[in-house]
Structure 1
Amino acid sequence: MKTERPYPYVEIDKRGAARAREGHPWVFDNEITDMEGELQDGALCDVLSPKGRYLGTGFYNSHSKIRVRIISRNANDRFDEDFYRRRVRHAWEYRKTVMAGDFNCFRLVFGEADRFPGLTVDKFGGVLVTQTLSLGVEKIKPLLFPLLVEALERDGISVCGIYERNDVRVRELEGLAQNTGWFPLPGREAPEETTVEIEENGVRYLVDFANGQKTGFFLDQKYNRAAAARLAAGRRVLDCFTHTGSFGLNCAKAGAAYVRSVDVSETAIACARENCARNGLSRIVEYETANVFDLLPSLRPGEYDYIILDPPAFTKSGKTVDSAERGYKEINFRAMKALPRGGFLATCSCSHFMGDARFRAMLQSAARDAGVELRLIEARTQGPDHPVLWNVPETDYLKFYLLQIV
């Protein structure tokens, strides 16, 4: 590089440089061919091509296989408070546009898609719940987190506190300890409660953001739940892997004749039952602790005319995707066999490694084996507050299909 730079640098091989030019923010440890300067974990460094050309600046971490997480490709950027304030504002302005005032609960920051690598920020009522999975962002939290509050409150959206859910093992791959608790905001006292009521699609839920899965509630299916509910009026619905009860409750509120919601977790069923009572829908929805893989084969043909499959990710690695595909096919095959002609199936996968083309092929294979044909009603993905960057495939993970058995 001809221009004097204030940061140490790593030089990467042709493969890494090609991916970086295409906009991918990750530099892996085995792509680095040279380095110079005092590289510090969690601090910034430049990334150079094999010919010494500037590719970007990002957070360095010797503990991680993702050795550098690029946050800027502009050599003129200065990484001060104004820089991060602009980044926060861009994330918020995007949500203001795509969420159309639906701000009771949404994702404010979606990691690499908002160029905050490894950071998740969900809003539940007046609480922001964060998960920080990169060392670089961990180090700038004292600067960054108050800027999140500032951006929202400037538009009249009050924030009573920020709760951290850093109780995930992946932090250890970054050399970070696990922890949970209220983040100390200057001049504010942390709330005492770690539950909050939210409203999504007109359905109310109690979110336990200190103990629930991930940040406490899965927001990515918000509009898919609304789409599924549009088919529910007058139908008998089987809601599988119900978790907090959300798909079943959306269908019940939309006029389903009967909903049976099942999950293998007794804790999840207790939570879903409480959410049902909160919405006055207990006369419509019945809850049961059951293993869906055992339940589906036991169904009488035509017992339900609408089945919803919202399983957890069956794979979090490319190494186990074949096994995961067999699991997805089994539950979809069983659902297709149980549904009558004209019945409806809502089915999805939240695993990035189970790509869309493979998921579609699996559904077609399951339909052939079940002896049915499928009519596509809608193909959907995660909500717009979980944006997909086409140059970062890892941001694209949720597949959701509404189908009719014909």
Structure 2
Amino acid sequence: MQELVVKRSCERRLLQGHRWVFSNEVESPLKAFSAGEWVQVVSASGLRWGTGYVNPHSLIACRIAAPPGTEPTPAFFAEKVRQAVAFRERIYPGTTVYRAVYGESDGLPGLVVDRYDWAWVMQTTTAGMAAMEPVITEVLVHKHGARLVLARNDTSARTLEGLPLTKRVLFGAADNPVDVALHGLTIRVDPLEGQKTGLFLDQRDNREAVRRYVSGAEVLDLFCYQGLWSLVAAASGAARVLGVDQSREAVERAERDARENGLSDRCRFQAGDVLDFLKRSPRERYDVIIMDPPAFAKTKSALPNALKGYTDLNRRAMLAVRRGGILVTCSCSYHLKEDAFYAMLLRAAQAAGRSLRLLEARGQALDHPALLAMPETRYLKCAVLEVR
């Protein structure tokens, strides 16, 4: 295994526990390495930082995965996945739906694995981890009983590593529906064609938290996708719930799940543009509004326009919620930092002539743990607000 020598400029960050080395922080000639090659990361003075893998064509030239001297053997990956799964089974006992591996936070940079009972969905975003797909598949099948393993490698992050966008079956057959138990409901998952890997698992704990606010309420769920927020609200005693999403296919899935869970009498859905819906919505119409939009700022350069969009959207939602009502508003844009998120909400409130009480400041679910030394692993903001 070759050594990758890094400059002093990154040593403090690595010492704190950050796991990335950027291309301008590498002393060694990067052209001497191949994409995905595993290396020993060392300082110019010979201090060994750890074992990682390289991509000379990427801005993030190296990702550290393990202590110095570690070999990327099948046993290494099996133990990493075992530890990650054991943590999820401890925090969510009795469940078979969770994010099983969350990249750097689980010591497996570039790898995400979601479990939907007997179906496991893998996403690799780096050349180094893409080469390990056969090894990870073997671990999931032989150590964790997976009957189906899918690769959802259709995220745009792969293009930064020069990787193709693909979706394919790695093990088993994807010809049967996957019905899972989540939030006390039965939910049908489409891990091959659904958004992300099938469901938005990062909002799991936030959906549970909202139960306390919806009893007897009229609830509006915007960007509802497959309707999990709506279904949880209806099952928690909401009087009426309306979910809105631009995807007709997602709305049809939500309607199916509502029927299967006996919630169709209180829970309905419609396809349409959310902003257009809010423009037509009467003022002070709903007791609770939930907004979980897609990322408006996928790059740092997109942030100024994204802030305008977030501000207008939240302003309109604040006008549509009854005074004293609840607004649950989210952003999954990593580039929108938490302080800027709350500053945006203040601007929206001022424009709407409303004041806000922050009841809960929440983030991603416990199966998406963030490394304190890596702010890149923390991205989701979820504010539960009283609008006055």
| TM-score over 0.5 for the pair | yes
| Secondary structure at the counterpart of residue 234 of structure 1 | coil
| Secondary structure at the counterpart of residue 322 of structure 2 | coil
CA offsets 1:56-80 (integer angstroms, 9 cap, x no match): 22111223221111112x2243332
Shift of 1:192: 4.3
1:168 — aligned with what? 155
More off after superposition, 106-115 vs 174-183: 174-183
2:279 — aligned with what? 297
Letter aligned with residue 245 of structure 2: D
CA offsets 1:279-310 (integer angstroms, 9 cap, x no match): 12111122222212122132222221111111
2:48 — aligned with what? 54
Looking at structure 1, the residues matched to 111 and 72 of structure 2 have their Cα atoms a distance apart, in angstroms, of 17
* TM-score between the two structures when normalised by the length of structure 2: 0.95
CA offsets 1:106-154 (integer angstroms, 9 cap, x no match): 00001111111111100112100111111111222222322234443xx
1:209 to 178, 182, 191: 191
Looking at structure 2, the residues matched to 8 and 297 of structure 1 have their Cα atoms a distance apart, in angstroms, of 59
Looking at structure 2, the residues matched to 259 and 169 of structure 1 have their Cα atoms a distance apart, in angstroms, of 33
| Secondary structure at the counterpart of residue 300 of structure 1 | coil
Question: Is 1:8–1:36's contact at 8 Å kept on the other side of the alignment?
Answer: no
| Secondary structure at the counterpart of residue 297 of structure 2 | coil
Question: Is 2:298–2:333's contact at 8 Å kept on the other side of the alignment?
Answer: yes
* TM-score between the two structures when normalised by the length of structure 1: 0.91
Shift of 1:194: 5.3
Question: Is 2:51–2:69's contact at 8 Å kept on the other side of the alignment?
Answer: no
Question: Is 1:233–1:256's contact at 8 Å kept on the other side of the alignment?
Answer: yes
1:97 — aligned with what? 90
More off after superposition, 21-30 vs 349-358: 21-30
Question: Structure 2 matches for 1:310-329, cutoff 5 A?
Answer: 310-329=292-311
Shift of 1:36: 8.8
Shift of 1:19: 2.0
Question: Is 2:284–2:322's contact at 8 Å kept on the other side of the alignment?
Answer: yes
Looking at structure 2, the residues matched to 113 and 386 of structure 1 have their Cα atoms a distance apart, in angstroms, of 8
2:206 to 199, 219, 224: 224
Letter aligned with residue 55 of structure 1: W
| Secondary structure at the counterpart of residue 62 of structure 1 | coil
Looking at structure 2, the residues matched to 340 and 194 of structure 1 have their Cα atoms a distance apart, in angstroms, of 44
Looking at structure 1, the residues matched to 163 and 279 of structure 2 have their Cα atoms a distance apart, in angstroms, of 44
CA offsets 1:24-78 (integer angstroms, 9 cap, x no match): 1111222222249963321211222233322222111223221111112x22433
2:68 to 71, 75, 89: 75
| Secondary structure at the counterpart of residue 255 of structure 1 | coil
Distance 1:172 1:363, change over 3 A: closer
Shift of 1:373: 1.8
Question: Is 2:154–2:167's contact at 8 Å kept on the other side of the alignment?
Answer: yes
CA offsets 1:79-124 (integer angstroms, 9 cap, x no match): 32332222122212211222233x2210000111111111110011
Question: Is 1:92–1:151's contact at 8 Å kept on the other side of the alignment?
Answer: no
Looking at structure 2, the residues matched to 26 and 269 of structure 1 have their Cα atoms a distance apart, in angstroms, of 39
2:125 to 130, 133, 147: 133
Question: Structure 2 matches for 1:7-26, cutoff 5 A?
Answer: 7-26=1-20
Question: Is 1:348–1:401's contact at 8 Å kept on the other side of the alignment?
Answer: yes
More off after superposition, 9-18 vs 35-44: 35-44
| Secondary structure at the counterpart of residue 358 of structure 2 | strand
CA offsets 1:212-271 (integer angstroms, 9 cap, x no match): 112111111111111112211111111111100111111111111111111122222222
Q: Report how many residues are paired.
A: 388
Distance 1:341 1:50, change over 3 A: same
Letter aligned with residue 280 of structure 1: G
Shift of 1:343: 0.8
Looking at structure 1, the residues matched to 110 and 174 of structure 2 have their Cα atoms a distance apart, in angstroms, of 27
User: What root-mean-square deviation, in Å, do the aligned CA atoms of Structure 1 and Structure 2 show?
Assistant: 1.8
Letter aligned with residue 185 of structure 2: V
1:84 equivalenced with 2:77 (yes/no): yes
2:114 — aligned with what? 122
